[in-house]
Amino acid sequence: MNHIVIVDPFSTGKLYAPLLNARGLNCIAIISRPDLPAHFTQDLVAEHFTQVLDWRPELVETLDALGVVAVIAGCETAIHLTDHLTEALGVRGNSPATSDQRRNKYSMQQALDRRELAHIDSHLVTHPDQIAAVLTTIAPDQQYVVKPLNSAATQGVVFATGRAAVEQALLNAGWDQRNDLGEVNLGFVVQPFISGPEYVVDLVAFNGTYHVATVCRYTKILRNGSPFVYDSLDTLDPNDTDLQPLLDYARQAAAALNVLHGPLHMEIIWSPQGPVMIEAGARLHGGIAPRLFQQVYQPDLLSVAIDSYLGRPAPAGSGCSRQLRHGRIGFFWAERPSTFEGPGFEPMVEAGKVPGYGGHRYFVATGAHVPTTIDFATCPGLFWLSHDDARQLDHSAEQIRALLWSQ
């Protein structure tokens, strides 16, 4: 009884196995689909696993005989199969009957509505023949968001004002195309644009009670004619009483999505009417964030998630992790189209001397074309910082951008 299954251990899902191995547990990787894109599967670190298996229904009997104690969703593509396996193997998990509420961007808003929680009125479009009917609901001067039901990040997201622009966005949408997750787009959702500061809350469920592991706030700036350019994601103290309405809502939303075990990553707008969830995913925060959180919070998100999967009790205390330091993920932006040439050796050395510097990552390869940054999808890279003094983060961010991104 010392085997852990990790479905699609990619993105931040690859962080689980080394920590579980250190606890004497054997990890088995299951790849949910044979057509997962290479930019996902290249994340696999095979030596962290006793077996790497392609999913087939017969595996349930094999896994049951091994004595699996937990099934973990590594990333978005793993949600449905993870829920199926937890039920089939009789281990802690979330019900496969409600998997869509934790993956489908229309279903999760419907789940909030059923609990009479703040939500976004959403219109589902699963076929181009439905566009005309949806357009009758569109206000002439209101701004809308058109997004795929099952994509990740901001891929395929279009902002449109008025009926004609929404129609054009839907006509130009990627019908029957595969997204960056390798999944065929199941359809699109049309939602009124909700304004207000954007927060990220990472919860971990312990049999239906929720520990808040992190709270962060995005800062967006007007740049290159777009108000959707990301400047930073800053960590906040979950024990700050000013954040209590946000966290109360997040816990209620998690319950509405029927999250009983494991992590839930939530994006929430604090609108003038109060917090409203944009979307959520039943997995770890993506990117480099969990590594930064290890330096900022105690206990950190990854450790709390592992405890939940292993059936350990929730951390004692307030129901929130403590912020020990200040953290920031900063984003690079391109002022004009260019060819990426990299920063060179000396700037890289100097960046390492900047107070609080944790690392950086480019999303473009040397010699690649870089478009003008207008949103997260066109962001060319990021960096991360942590420091005892919050004011130092501003100075360090300015230095890092000057050293590692200049046009």
Which two three-digit tokens encode residue 91?
């281990």
State the Cα–Cα distance between residues 177 and 224, nearest whole angstrom.
29
Counting every residue, how long is the chain? 407
Q: What is the pLDDT along the chain (407 residues), one digit of tens a residue?
A: 699 999 999 999 999 999 999 999 999 999 999 989 888 889 899 999 999 999 999 999 999 999 999 999 999 999 999 999 999 999 999 999 999 999 999 999 999 999 999 999 999 999 999 999 999 999 988 999 999 887 766 667 888 999 999 999 999 988 888 877 778 888 999 999 999 999 999 999 999 999 999 999 999 998 988 888 999 999 999 999 999 999 999 999 999 999 999 999 999 999 999 999 999 999 999 999 999 999 999 999 999 999 999 999 999 999 999 999 999 999 999 999 999 998 989 999 999 999 999 999 999 999 999 999 988 888 999 999 999 999 999 999 999 999 999 76
The burial class, CB within 10 Å (0-12 / 13-18 / 19+), for 51 is middle
Q: 113 — phi, psi (to 5°)?
A: -60, -40
Collapsing DSSP states into helix, strand and coil, what is residue 6?
strand
Structure tokens of 124? Answer: 């589902």
The answer to whether 403 and 345 have CB atoms below 8 angstroms apart is: no
**Token pair for 398:** 């300015």
- Strands (DSSP E) contained in 310-404 are 322-323, 326-331, 338-339, 357-362, 369-370, 381-387
Q: Which domains does the chain have, with CATH numbers?
A: 3-91 (3.40.50.720), 121-192 (3.30.1490.20), 198-404 (3.30.470.20)
Q: List Cβ neighbours of 212 (8 Å cut-off, separation of 6 or more).
A: 201, 202, 203, 238, 247, 250, 251, 319, 320, 321
Give pLDDT, residue 153.
62
Rounded Cα gap, residues 274 and 77, in angstroms: 31
Helices (DSSP H) in 257-300: which residue ranges? 289-296
